[in-house]
Structure 1
């Protein structure tokens, strides 16, 4: 099996989830036929269903919101082998917006080989690898109607309500990314049942640092350069504990303070002269690179003439020293 690094960074892992396996089977795809942005869209959709709606993701709901866009090779009629299709949000759908990158550059070059050791009788077995583009089938144009299922209508209304309340694709990505959860990996329970750092659905118990979150998160979603605060405004809800971000907020993995300080809090540091290594600070008259004209233009140092009182104090001090030493 051939897997790319970009897909793993966007929520795919082994063994694949039932929902991701259903998408591959329904659309006749292989993992490398799906573009990285589409894998991120699937991961966010799983997070929306499991974390906010508290229901397992279903294919009709996904098809209601997303359509298939064929990605063709420039100056050719065939589809691309890597990234044959892209799942695009249908026009007129009210869905959490995501400001994602237009494309992931050179993503097809970061591939590696992985042996599929899953049970052949399991439904989570990926199709055999073929180095070929996806074949178009009638399911690419299917779109269910709300009148077909009351459950679909109820889910669409709840998604509209969450979107009106300010839920964004950035929040969905931050929810699974900071908890080290791979949404497209098989799990025994849904995301709203997340318990904390010791939850078995986590890929790793260690939380990411603020710098690691800032660096990796920018690869997934388009974020302004001057923004250094990444907060999950609307995290997934869990049983009896409000939001699942409470434990992560205490460890500082969800929030990073801005690097720009306020002007009135900045300290004024003294200015020091930094010399090259091996150089000593010499008077102007002894510096070899200072021109004589420049030295002549400088005013001479004025010394204060000692007063009679200073001379008297100095003579008295010397007399005391001589008397103490027996001179």
Structure 2
């Protein structure tokens, strides 16, 4: 059994509360005076010119006009309208754009989106929805962030409003005009997957997403991403001049309002997620997002991939999945959507269908006049067939007023006659009332029959109450006069006259508005012509600049080659310099080890530079200072000994030559000892010779009594004997004069 599509029967009077309005003001969404308009009494959207239909729950989840190119492309490729997405689907897109721009450092990537998400119908096998009838789902084989969606967004379908389309005069960033009768049809693009080449191109992005999720101590969650874009006060789904990775804090041009109070921010996060009052709200992300204070790394790869846009033409994957090749339809019961509104509409419509043929129609009221029979097909009403009304009814402005909204609103339709056949007007074509579906006199309708446009206006509520009493009389059998066919025709003609008169007045107003619009368009055409001429001039200048740029292209290419050569040379030079520094460091360390081995003394630097080359040089300087100090001391000592060892030589000027004097082939120590023995022998012999008798060593030792002159003469006389004695003991005395006296 096919699922019943509620279509336009889901719509009812908007119920935006003061609390919702205050929230929109705090979020900066009503900063401009005409940014948002709230419906009055209409129970079916009839947006003014340059306005679109939206919901409070869409706006607080990141939606704002003009919309982002990525969202506009999604709506085009999937063949859906904005009101057909659930609040959680809107939040999915906001999180994805924030993830790409703040944590991956790229523009929202269409290929990456296809790898993660797909679309499903929202409903069951018995009922499908039009408002929120499409759900964005994460593919079952993808590991993605746990966003913690709420189990229910209560009554979001009833909180609808009008948002101003800022760029209404251009195609770019425009939202598709509202069409409540548009039927949702599953397309090939809903399940489109990335090709093998696209998967390879985005594999690094998927790896980065897994790292953001699973890095221990730095895990990124969906709630952190939500809290971040709410905290910085930038709407992810709004078209922006600068991406979020250039966010500049309080002075950023894309901010809608000042920072929210911590209490308001936490309350808003809990409102759009499943967190309760006990769950903490993250005050920051564990991974620092890219911004002006944390810019993208140099040479960061850019991967631009937007979904096809309307101005690019149709694409093959938007093809509708027909019944011939379509399997059993798949539905997703969106847990975050309230079913109360759609369910109550369906129930009321069914009950009304069973009772309309038995009781007179009640007076038209804003609460119930938008209800539809279960057999209505997605906002396009089908005329009910009766035995007494086989012909198709012509357009009746008065009957159209019975199904119109309270404020210049008309049900979108493609068939003018079908508009008269709704659950509120079926009683007029019942068998008991003949002629109700007949056409009005030809002279009354003429060219006044309106075109079948969903933007056409209809009579206001005041007109619907004029026929309330006659309608009750028509369906009453207690008054015989009312059963007269002529009276019925007169009443019908009168009602038609009233409807045509009101419609004519409204048509005059619309004509005046059209004339004003035509004048405005004429002025715009003049401006456009001037702009065209200026554009042609600019194009000529641009072509000249392009030719110049082409002429310089060869030079640029040559510069690139030279730059590449210079970079290669610089790289080789750096490598050679590194090798040279390593060799110098090795030599310095070797010299340091040799010095330590010679002196057996280790040194420590008081303030090391923590640079191997500089520290090794510092050690060498310490060793050099130590060596210089030792050389100075050695030179001083050798200078003092030089006259004793080399009395006839002049002391060398350099330490090296001085040291060579003290390092001859002979033993200087032995030489000194020999000289000492010589002196000793000479003195002894002199003493013995002086005694001239047996030796009395007491007298020999008493040298103080010997006169100086006599002492010298005795030594001189003893020289021949001393030489014999020294030769006997194997000592060759030197030819130097004796210095025994000083020694004694």
| Fold shared per TM-score above 0.5 | yes
1:95-134 correspondence to structure 2 within 5 Å:
95-132=144-181, 133-134=183-184
Q: Does 1:209 align with 2:261?
A: yes
Report the counterpart of residue 285 of structure 1 in structure 2.
none
Query: 1:141 maps to what in 2?
Result: 191
Corresponding position of 1:219: 271
Task: Name which structure has the greater RCO, CA cutoff 8 Å, separation 6+.
Answer: 1
Unaligned runs of 5+ in 2: 1-51, 296-744
Shift in alpha-carbon separation, 1:128–1:162, aligned structure 2, 3 A: same
Structure 1 or 2, whichever has the larger Rg, is 2
Counterparts of 1:141-220 in structure 2 under 5 Å? 141-148=191-198, 150-165=200-215, 166-204=219-257, 206-220=258-272
Point out where structure 1 has 5 or more consecutive residues left out of the alignment: 244-327
Distance 2:222 2:79 in 1: 27
In structure 1, distance between residues paired with 2:233 and 2:291: 19
> Is contact 1:35-1:85 (8 Å) kept?
yes
CA–CA distance in structure 2, aligned partners of residues 20 and 27 of structure 1: 11
* 1:53 paired to 2:104: yes
Aligned to 2:71: 20
Cα separation, 2, equivalents of 1:114 and 1:239: 30
Instruction: Give CA deviations for 1:241-290 in whole Å, capped at 9, x if unaligned.
Output: 249xxxxxxxxxxxxxxxxxxxxxxxxxxxxxxxxxxxxxxxxxxxxxxx
Measured after TM superposition, the shift of residue 232 of structure 1 is: 2.5
- Root-mean-square deviation (CA, aligned residues, Å) is 1.9
User: How far apart are the structure 2 equivalents of 1:11 and 1:240?
Assistant: 22
**Equivalent residue for 2:119, pick from 68, 71, 75:** 68
Q: Indicate whether 1:2 and 2:82 are aligned.
A: no
> 1:269-312: per-residue Cα shift (whole Å, max 9, x none)?
xxxxxxxxxxxxxxxxxxxxxxxxxxxxxxxxxxxxxxxxxxxx
Which of the pair is proportionally richer in helix?
Answer: 2
Residues 171 and 235, structure 1, Cα contact 8 Å, conserved in 2: no
How far residue 63 of structure 1 moved from its aligned partner, in angstroms, is: 1.5
Native 8 Å contact 2:83 2:132 kept in 1? yes
SS of the equivalent of 2:118 reads strand
- C-alpha distance in structure 1 between counterparts of 2:284 and 2:130, whole Å: 35
Alpha-carbon distance change, 191 to 20 in structure 1, aligned in 2, over 3 angstroms: same
- Specify whether residues 134 and 210 from structure 1 end up closer, same or farther in structure 2 by C-alpha distance, changes over 3 A only: same
Name the structure 2 match of 1:286: none
Is residue 65–residue 238 contact of structure 2 (8 Å, CA) maintained in 1?
A: yes
Q: 1:91 to 1:194 in 2, by over 3 A?
A: same
SS in 1 for 2:175: coil
1:36 and 2:53 aligned: no
Secondary structure of 1:181 counterpart: coil
